[in-house]
Amino acid sequence: MCDIGQGLENLAWVRQLNGPSSNDPLSIEEWKRVIDEVSSFKPYVSFAGGEPFLSKNILELSEYINRKGLTYSNTTNGILLERYAEDIVRFGMSSLGVSITGPKKIHDFIVGVDGAFLKILNGIEKLEEAKARMGKRRPELRINYAIFELNYPYLEEFASFLKENVRGKFTVTFTHQYAKTDTMVKNHNRQFGNSFPITTSTYTANPSKVDTE
């Protein structure tokens, strides 16, 4: 799962967000120039890392990418999905990944926000309503479930809940930890630690407690 929101300072993404370039993001004009330069290659554009919908330029940029005829997606924590559901559908986003880490009680505990789970579900419902109203099938909905010690017992319950309560087509992606042992963590950080270190939230769970039988 993502480092951000775990309430700890010594984490990879937190350090990057607070690093020397954190206060110097690309302007919308610079973003558009990047899109112009690569559009002839028809790349797949994906926004993730932190929360894309916190960017003041995300809607204008989405519209610009759509006008260029490019395929693009977002990965979001879902908290702002209610607000942006209409625009997401209108601008032709091809797929949307929403991170959910368990049933209501578990998800809200992990992210540290009471009501987050229900807010996400309301956002998904708004998204499906907008798709039906505009006669569109996209964005395709992906639900991302990062498996670790706190939420692995709820996989079956979570899948059943989604099947019964989320309308429309969607896929669920279950992702595992980056590393299982301290040795794996050290080996990774020795090579990639300067740019993408593995830190607390990605390996403190004990995988030996996960019963896969």
- What tens digit of pLDDT does each residue of 113-152 get? 899 999 999 999 999 999 999 999 889 999 998 887 788 8
Strands 170-175 and 140-146: what pairing?
A: parallel
Q: Are 22 and 16 in contact (CB under 8 A)?
A: yes
Per the prediction, the chain carries an average pLDDT of 80
SS3 96: strand
- Token pair recorded at residue 105: 């009680």
- Token pair recorded at residue 64: 């610009």
What kind of fold does domain 12-19+27-209 have according to CATH? TIM Barrel (3.20.20)
pLDDT of residue 134: 93
- pLDDT tens-digit profile of 168-186? 889 888 887 666 677 877 7
d(CA 31, CA 37): 10
**pLDDT, mean of residues 83-99:** 91
Per-domain residue ranges of the chain: 12-19+27-209
Percent of the chain with pLDDT over 70: 77
Looking up tokens 């017992």, which residue turns up? 153
Residue 93: name the closest of 28, 126, 140, 130 by CA.
140
207 upstream amide cis, omega within 30 of 0: no
pLDDT of residue 8: 46
Residue 205 confidence (pLDDT) above 70? no
Residues 6+ apart with CB under 8 A from 90: 130, 134
pLDDT of residue 197: 62
Residue 86 confidence (pLDDT) above 60? yes
